[in-house]
Amino acid sequence: MTSKTAGSPSPDNHTPQQQAMPEVNTLTAGDITASLKAGFSDFLACPVMSGFFGLFYAVFGILFVWCLVWLGKIWMIIPAAVGFPLVAPFAAAGLYEISRRLQREEKFGWTEILTVMANQRKREMGWMAFVTLFIFWVWTYQIRLWLAITLQNASFSDFSGFLNIVFFTPQGWTFLAIGSCVGAFMSAALFSLTVIAMPMLLDRDTNFVSAMLTSIRVVRENPVIMLGWAAIISVTMLLSLVPAFLGLVFTLPILGHTTWHLYQRAVSPVVE
């Protein structure tokens, strides 16, 4: 695929030329394997700093679930746990920066990483955060809707009672089936929009629309490989939630670093 600019203004036209879309590469299973190895190496190079971001994400998840219990929103625990990984790409921004600096062999410390992350609010990372959180909100809302429709006559006062209804009654099976289908669709949409867009916004001076379009192109042109990567992320993240979210301390950093290296392989570098 050849990168093109859309239209060339005349010399007298002061309208800025539209930014060229980056070239998207063809990926193979070897690219995922190589990216995983590089991601694991980045984690070993900065285990404390990388683990900090995983720990922060895990602690936030624990507090989030505790708040749901405190507020009596027991029905929200499973949807929140399943939908929680949807916001992981935004949470991994610091990990992308660590990998970027390691790749360039730049010296850095906490100040450099946290400063770069704070400066993203001046760029368009905030819009990507809005897209991510909006889809998470829609996910929560539709779960509440289907819960009301399918379990309208059910009653439960604690989490174990909720689990019993969901997993051992026909109404609960209907709720799980519908929720899983809708959740899979929304997860696929968000994955397509963000998997490349997040690291791209951190790495390049581009807008969030171009970043999302590039991410969609990568997924569209490498459907099997990107589906495999999505499956690896989903299974790993869900298994990491089982030990009270603490598995995320290790898995989130490795997946975040890996995503950076996969982005580097999926999108051609900027031509100076």
Per residue in 94-128, pLDDT tens? 899 899 999 988 888 888 888 776 666 566 677 77
pLDDT tens digits for range 36-67: 999 999 999 999 999 998 888 888 888 877 88
Structure tokens at 193: 């929009």
* CA-derived radius of gyration, the chain: 21
Task: Tell me the residue range of the domain where 200 lies.
Answer: 29-266
pLDDT tens digits for range 150-176: 877 666 666 677 778 878 888 888 888
- In the predicted model, what is the mean pLDDT of the chain? 81
Q: Is residue 176 part of a domain?
A: yes
Q: Is residue 12 part of a domain?
A: no
Lowest mean pLDDT segment, chosen from 79-88, 101-110, 129-138: 79-88
In this structure, how many other beta carbons lie within 10 angstroms of the beta carbon of residue 199?
A: 29
Cα–Cα distances in Å, from 109 out to 50, 114, 158?
12, 9, 45
Phi/psi at 22 (5° precision) = -70, 155
Q: Is residue 24 part of a domain?
A: no
> Is the Cα torsion angle 95, 238, 34, 89 positive or negative in sign?
negative
Q: Is residue 127 part of a domain?
A: yes
| Eight-class DSSP state of 75 | G
Q: Is residue 155 part of a domain?
A: yes
pLDDT of residue 258: 95
Tokens 């955060």 -> residue:
129
Question: Could you give the number of structural domains in the chain?
Answer: 1
SS3 state of residue 27: coil
Q: Is residue 158 part of a domain?
A: yes
Q: Which amino acid is at 104?
A: R
Q: Is residue 4 part of a domain?
A: no
Task: Specify whether the backbone of 60 is left (phi greater than 0), alpha (psi in -120 to 50) or beta.
Answer: alpha
User: Higher pLDDT residue, 21 or 195?
Assistant: 195
In whole angstroms, what is the distance from residue 219 CA to residue 206 CA?
19
3-state helix, strand, coil in the chain (%, to 5): 75, 0, 25
Buried (b) or exposed (e) across 206-232, using 16+ Cβ within 10 A? bebebbbbbbbbbbeebeebbeebbee
Q: Say yes or no to pLDDT of 137 above 90.
A: no
In whole angstroms, what is the distance from residue 179 CA to residue 80 CA?
12
Q: Say yes or no to pLDDT of 14 above 50.
A: no
In whole angstroms, what is the distance from residue 150 CA to residue 82 CA?
19
In whole angstroms, what is the distance from residue 4 CA to residue 1 CA?
9
Q: Is residue 10 part of a domain?
A: no
